[in-house]
Amino acid sequence: MTHTSLASWLSYIESQHPSEIELGLERGSKVLARLNLARPKHKVITVAGTNGKGSTCAMLTQYLCEQNYSVGTYTSPHFLAFNERIALNDLPCDDEILCRAFEAIEAAREGITLTYFEFSTLAALWIFDQSNLDYWVLEVGLGGRLDSVNMIDTDVAVVTSISLDHIDWLGDNLDVIAREKTGIARKDKLLISGVVNPPSTIASTALEVGAHLRQKGVDFHFELDSNTWSWSGDGLQFETLPIPSLPLQNAATVIAVLVYMGFSPTHADLVSLFSRAQLMGRFQKVATFPDVYIDVAHNPEAAIELAHRISNLPIQPVAVCGMLKDKDIASVMKHLAGCFSDWFCCDLAGPRGAKASELVKHIVHSSPSLALNAKAFQSVGDAFSSALVKAQDEQRSVIVFGSFVTVSDYLALNQSKE
């Protein structure tokens, strides 16, 4: 099957499997074996976790690129273009190489049915093989043990955080979820855990597998000062580091990954990294007058981080929020309801999209005083238009958040106006 454009290929691979998600390694591994791909010149780094995967991958990639290594980075989902998922030296791949990758996978699969994510993962690995890279940085899509990224034996496994999410797929308690996410670990290889208050199954899984576990709070530590922070571990200490725009706990995990991998980052290296590190959609300012921020916070842990960021603003902002109904909406609203002066909630399309009216109910339940200040709209565009008027009238900022879908819809709307 030959397609003439990336859009055509993406439409095709979306149609090849009846389910958006089907966990398991058997199908993809058969195709991967047929592709006969080489590994990077140095190491594969695989990152799992409930929150912080994207920012951890971004900071690792940016450090390695600054050190003049060649790096392939695979992340998901994307905001505006599929190309965002597969990057070479921190730049999205072009359509041509993506199409060639899909052609190679289509030829190799010989009737094996693959999900959209399996196609995407194999495309990333094929492109990285073709590019003869020093490092691969791979973000797990869902869970760890049965995620298609786990087809590749990693050299360094990283678990950023553990909290309840994707309960239907991963289990309904933290011990089970931690075991699933730690399933990326390999015998005699590093397993770096950035998890605060880690479930015991992280250590027990590492022991069963024979991985070399290094844990935050045990083997390495970080501490926030007033305007800087410090890190210590493995006999090293870094002080007066700049506070990054990305979550601090993930920055601490990144230093641990680098140190235990055998890098020797200097204080200047880390100052450079944390002064510049950025990732789309993580409390990112995208407009001014009024200021508009986008954030993909969609679960309780991310909501706590967003609440902290909001606390540093000079005046309460207004919210534009849309969420998926399989998320813990009640807990997210419990953490964030009182952080905003006004809520402009929106319906999200598709079978997973939550209704704005449901969000409003949870907001008012968490903060009854907002009964007149939480409104429902049919789209992100309608909600944002009303929020913008309020923000301009009262000189407040706007924060668009709740889901990758919400942020993507906002960005697409904004792009269409340019």
CATH code, domain with 124: 3.40.1190.10
Do 183 and 254 reside in the same domain of the chain?
Answer: yes
Is residue 47 within 8 A of residue 154, CB to CB? The reply is no
In sequence order, the β-bridge partners of residue 294 are 284, 400
Do 248 and 344 reside in the same domain of the chain?
Answer: no
Token representation of residue 182: 């730690």
Would 179 be classed as within a structural domain?
A: yes
Give the residue from 82, 184, 156, 86 showing the smallest Cα distance to 128.
86
Do 77 and 206 reside in the same domain of the chain?
Answer: yes
Q: What is the mean pLDDT of residues 364-373?
A: 96
Do 163 and 228 reside in the same domain of the chain?
Answer: yes
- Range list of H helices, 155-279: 167-170, 174-181, 200-209, 248-261, 267-276
Residue 410 has pLDDT above 50, yes or no: yes
In sequence order, the β-bridge partners of residue 109 are none
Do 249 and 325 reside in the same domain of the chain?
Answer: no
Token representation of residue 146: 């049965």
d(CA 356, CA 106): 40
Is residue 161 within 8 A of residue 195, CB to CB? The reply is yes
Domain boundary among 249, 276, 303: 276
Do 151 and 245 reside in the same domain of the chain?
Answer: yes
Would 333 be classed as within a structural domain?
A: yes
Element (H, E) at 190: strand 190-193
**Torsion over CA: 128, 408, 250, 119 (sign):** negative
Would 351 be classed as within a structural domain?
A: yes
Give the residue from 389, 399, 386, 388 showing the smallest Cα distance to 312.
399
**pTM, 2 dp:** 0.92
What confidence tier does 174 reach under pLDDT thresholds 50, 70, 90? confident
What confidence tier does 1 reach under pLDDT thresholds 50, 70, 90? low
Q: Please classify residue 340 by burial: count the beta carbons closer than 10 Å to its beta carbon, then call 0-12 exposed, 13-18 middle and 19+ buried.
A: buried
Could you tell me the CATH number of the domain that includes residue 353? 3.90.190.20
Would 214 be classed as within a structural domain?
A: yes
Name the residue with higher pLDDT: 103 or 21. 103
Do 296 and 260 reside in the same domain of the chain?
Answer: no
Domain boundary among 243, 276, 309: 276
Would 354 be classed as within a structural domain?
A: yes
For 234, phi then psi, to 5°, come to 55, 35
Question: What is the pLDDT at residue 19?
Answer: 61
Would 382 be classed as within a structural domain?
A: yes
Is residue 66 within 8 A of residue 158, CB to CB? The reply is no
Q: Could you tell me what percent of the chain has a pLDDT over 70?
A: 95
Do 265 and 315 reside in the same domain of the chain?
Answer: no
For the chain, give the mean pLDDT: 93
Do 164 and 206 reside in the same domain of the chain?
Answer: yes
In sequence order, the β-bridge partners of residue 238 are 231
Do 260 and 304 reside in the same domain of the chain?
Answer: no
d(CA 47, CA 39): 17
Domain boundary among 276, 310, 335: 276
Would 1 be classed as within a structural domain?
A: no
Do 371 and 239 reside in the same domain of the chain?
Answer: no
Do 403 and 254 reside in the same domain of the chain?
Answer: no
- Tell me the pLDDT tens digit for each residue of 130-159: 999 999 999 998 778 889 999 999 999 999
Neighbours of 176 (CB within 10 A): 14
Give the dihedral of Cα atoms 55, 59, 60, 66; nearest 10 deg. 160
d(CA 328, CA 298): 8
* Interior/surface letters 260-294, b for 16+ CB within 10 angstroms, e for the rest: bbeeebeeebbebbbeebebbbbbbebeeebbbbb
Question: What is the pLDDT at residue 418?
Answer: 56
* Structural domains of the chain, count: 2
Q: Which structural domain, as residue segments, surrounds residue 388?
A: 284-417
What confidence tier does 165 reach under pLDDT thresholds 50, 70, 90? low
Question: What is the pLDDT at residue 327?
Answer: 86
Question: What is the pLDDT at residue 169?
Answer: 46
Q: What is the mean pLDDT of residues 199-210?
A: 96
β-bridge pairing 86-88 and 91-92: antiparallel
Q: What is the mean pLDDT of residues 326-348?
A: 95
Residue 125 has pLDDT above 70, yes or no: yes
